[in-house]
Amino acid sequence: MTKEKIAEDFINAAVNMDILRAKKSCKEAIALGIDPYEFIEMAITKALTIIGDKFENEEFFLPELFMAAEIVKKSMRILEPHIKGSGKKKNLGKIVIGTAKSDMHDIGKNIVSFFLKAEGFEVIDLGVDISPEKFVEVVRNEKPDILAISALISLTMQEVSKTLKSLEIAGLRNDIKVIIGGATFTQEFADDIGADALAINAIDGVKICKRWVGI
């Protein structure tokens, strides 16, 4: 079997949410001696692009994104032990991500975080309920390229606004791009607080970040 055929099988399996077939393709790729990095590019990244597009076109929803994340996680477990020295891991840049203070919602953030990692970003996920002070501290220490803030309830809109102001006061605002996302945000709000972009959904957020680093 050719590597193209195995990659195609993987893609079909992933898009059909068939984890067993996807894992089988990964094992076949290893057995055939295919470079794991090449397989990740040919199969996993391509499958994620198709799944992301289907999500944007509203053919897929959150259950499919969760399942895709699981398929990739399990597939990477098969591929990773064979990765050592076989190629160069790409690094598109560093992103700090977190859900704003007083908000415990993390589904959207986790999905964005997962897809950013899968695309090759280094992601520092701070979790939920993150204060403006904490965001500023991490941005100062980690010097990321992008700060991504998620929120679902409108109570937290003020906290997002405060975070932007705190970055300004700390003299860090011009060093990073800031993207916000969550059902409660509008473009008007993003413009008002001076965010660089509003992500209308998880996949849109990933696309914006990729655009910012020239991909």
**The pairing of beta strand 93-99 with beta strand 177-181:** unpaired
How many alpha carbons fall within 13 Å on the CB side of residue 161?
A: 13
The reply to whether 163 sits near another protein by the rule CB under 8 A is no
- Minimum distance of another protein from residue 85's CB (angstroms): 33
- Interaction residues for another protein, span 73-92 (CB under 8 A): none
* 192-200 CB contacts, 8 Å cutoff, 24+ apart: 192/161, 193/160, 193/161, 193/164, 194/164, 194/168, 195/160, 195/164, 199/112, 199/148
3-state helix, strand, coil in the chain (%, to 5): 60, 15, 25
The reply to whether 57 sits near another protein by the rule CB under 8 A is no
Q: For residues 17 and 83, which CB has a smaller minimum distance to another protein in the complex?
A: 17
- Minimum distance of another protein from residue 185's CB (angstroms): 8
Q: How far is Cα 193 from Cα 68, in angstroms, rounded to an integer?
A: 34
The reply to whether 157 sits near another protein by the rule CB under 8 A is yes
What three-state secondary structure class fits 167? Answer: helix
Q: Which of 70, 145, 175, 196 binds another protein (CB under 8 A)?
A: 70
Phi, psi of 30 (to 5 degrees): -65, -45
- Minimum distance of another protein from residue 136's CB (angstroms): 21
Using the contact rule CB under 8 A, the part of the chain among 118-126, 130-138, 168-176, 183-191 near another protein is: 183-191
- Minimum distance of another protein from residue 24's CB (angstroms): 15
Residue 113: how many other CB atoms lie within 10 Å: 24
For the record, the structure tokens of 73 come out as: 């996680």
Number of residues engaging another protein in binding (CB under 8 A): 28
The reply to whether 194 sits near another protein by the rule CB under 8 A is no
Q: For residues 74 and 82, which CB has a smaller minimum distance to another protein in the complex?
A: 74
Q: For residues 139 and 156, which CB has a smaller minimum distance to another protein in the complex?
A: 156
Q: How far is Cα 213 from Cα 145, in angstroms, rounded to an integer?
A: 9
- Interaction residues for another protein, span 9-38 (CB under 8 A): 17, 19
Residue 63: how many other CB atoms lie within 10 Å: 9
Q: Which of 56, 64, 175, 196 binds another protein (CB under 8 A)?
A: 64
> What residue ranges bind another protein (CB under 8 A)?
17, 19, 58, 60-64, 66-67, 70, 102, 104-107, 128-129, 153-155, 157-158, 183-184, 186, 188-189
